[in-house]
Amino acid sequence: MGLLTLGSPLSWKDTKKFADHVRKHGTQQLINIYRRLKDRQGAVLKWGDEVEYMLVVMDADNKTARLSLKGNEVLEILERREKESPSDYPATWRPEYGGFIVEGSPVRPYGHLMEHLNMVEANMRLRREEILSVLDQERGETVITFTAFPRVGCPGSTDPEVECNPTVNTASHSLFFPDAAINHHPRFRTLTRNIRERRGEKVCINTPVLKDINTPKPFRDTFPNDDIEASWHAKDDHIYMDHMAFGMGCPCIQCTFQACDLGEALRLYDQLTPLCPIFLALTAAAPVYRGYLVDTECRFNIIAQSVDCRTREERGLEPLKNDRFVIPKSRYDSIDCYLTPEAEKYNDIDLVLDQDICQQLQDAGMDRSLARHFAHLFIRDPISLFSEKIHQNDEQETDHFESIQSTNWQPMRFKPPPPNSTIGWRVEFRPMEAQLTDFENAAYVVFIVLLTRVILSYNLNFLIPISKVDENMQEAQKRDAVRQGLFWFRKEVLPPRPYSEYNDGCFEQEEDKEYTKMTINEIINGQAGGFQGLVSLMNSYLETVDIDVDTRCSVQQYLMLIQKRASGELMTTARWIRAFVQNHPKYKSDSVVSEEIAYDLTKVADEITKGVRACPELFGTPRTRTKVSLSSVGQKKLRKESSDKADIDVLI
């Protein structure tokens, strides 16, 4: 969850006073990093994943499932275990926005060996077991990787139950979600308060309700005490929400890759960008919000609305007077530009940017495309600032840069090396929603990691106009997008053949004929006589690399899961949840997910997660050969290939 500085948070009024100071010094910090490390070469491939885990308590007697607010307590125990066993502990832990979420990653990054792919699922299992070991399971406490808790924001949805109204919720002024359920780290409550104060009103989230047979037409939400602001902002046939937690309280899975140099990192960022909507759709897992079935499947637009700090002027609702820009999107939203000069012709969205910062970065030697990216991020104000960190050493610290970089939440993040470290240039793949099981989460992580190797090895080109990526991001969130949606995608991703292979001379395709609309099935599994499909390319790559039998067995099952999800043979998590609700004997076909339905859904999801209930319609019957550590052969190979003992120790 970005920068986690400790200290005394400033009010929005005081933060605003230092906004230009933060931008000025954040820009200088970025320039210092760039000048110092732009030519850093030879970093080895390292990568890792982040999974956000939701803590839940189930009461079988009363048939209720509630969010457990033990996140801080659980995190404290897990972090202590990590410190006490630094050499053999499997995970590292971080706080997340919700007081009911903890974030876990492998304690050490994975490396370039194919065998590292076979360690992901085993490590995820260990993380889940670690969390379970500190919960009171006899009381019904458990950990589930739901993306959206079905009754978040409903009365009594937390354990312990806490008072919730605009008066006691001093940070958010929310009607539905209690500020007491925000993580105790000062960053999170500060973000909540400052986003609301900067915006000039509460955040406003509207997502369309699923119109079932008995859903009122029109559907009109009702609010405690006939709240005037809610009534004004709520739309007919939509579910209304008013707290950052409805978005930032949604667990997800993320992957971070260290590239060998700056150029490779930029290339990976650009090539993975068109894939973000595809994997948002494939991992769709959020069809229920605030106790209602909704007519979307993903968290993405809900998060965008939940952190939208733009003023009325910035949203174009009033003429610019006090603000500098009209800004088309929330600070959590889709990607606005590619980063490499080769991709610049596909940047067909007008980019709002700080021209002075852009020029300053170019004067420091940064390529125009990358300078424009950062100058675009820096149109935003910092929204969290600590009094102890106002004045910094720009040569040694990067908190001002990170305070803006880390609160621009996009499906991809380009990450410069941190100061005073050996870490290289990195990219983070961020669109994917959390899945119920470690097998599924590992499958998506491994798929993306393997795809990065194929991109670099085969020099693949997925670029399409960035406006088409935007369209795809919206298409991905529609109900049943995997089976029904059409997505812009490139017709040919392999590099063109040499001139001599053409009988009639070398030619370039017209730009508007480079891409067309395809189904997810066609993108993943290929078209007869057309695009070969991502899995075909990946299998071709696997035939060329040294891969042991166990890893190949696991990887093939991961690829098979995603192939069958893409074809519709297996359900996405969103489709499965929606079907569970609509087929529940107590469901009244009115879009309402009652406490009893939510309890039964949570109970079944928990049993599936723990492997005590089969769910072949969701992921088949997998039998991977995942392992906790490298084999002796893998360890020997790593020692032979690397002379850097620190790298060996980390990767083994």
Q: Which residues contact 372 (CB under 8 A, 6 or more apart)?
A: 337, 351, 353, 358
Amino acid type, 329? K
Q: How many percent of the chain have pLDDT more than 90?
A: 88
Half-sphere exposure of 95 (CA within 13 A, CB side): 22
What is residue 648's predicted lDDT score, i.e. its pLDDT?
37
Strand segments (E) across 121-197: 141-144, 158-159
Q: Quick one: pLDDT at residue 225?
A: 81
- Asked if 295 and 201 count as a contact pair (C-beta separation under 8 A), the reply is no
Q: b/e per residue, 588-604, with b = 16+ CB within 10 A?
A: eeebbbbbbbbbbbbbb
3-class DSSP state for residue 600? helix
In this structure, which amino acid lies at residue 172?
A: S
d(CA 460, CA 457): 8
H/E element, 520: helix 520-525
Distance CA 213, CA 648 (A): 60
- pTM value? 0.95
| Residue-wise pLDDT tens digits, 558-608 | 999 999 999 999 999 999 999 999 999 999 999 999 999 999 999 999 999
Q: Cα separation of 140 and 56, whole Å?
A: 8
- Residue 277 CA to residue 271 CA, distance in Å, equals 13
Dist. CA 433–CA 254, nearest whole Å: 9
Low-confidence ranges of the chain (pLDDT < 50): 1, 500-508, 643, 645-652
Q: Residues 109-150: pLDDT tens digits?
A: 999 999 999 999 999 999 999 999 999 999 999 999 999 999
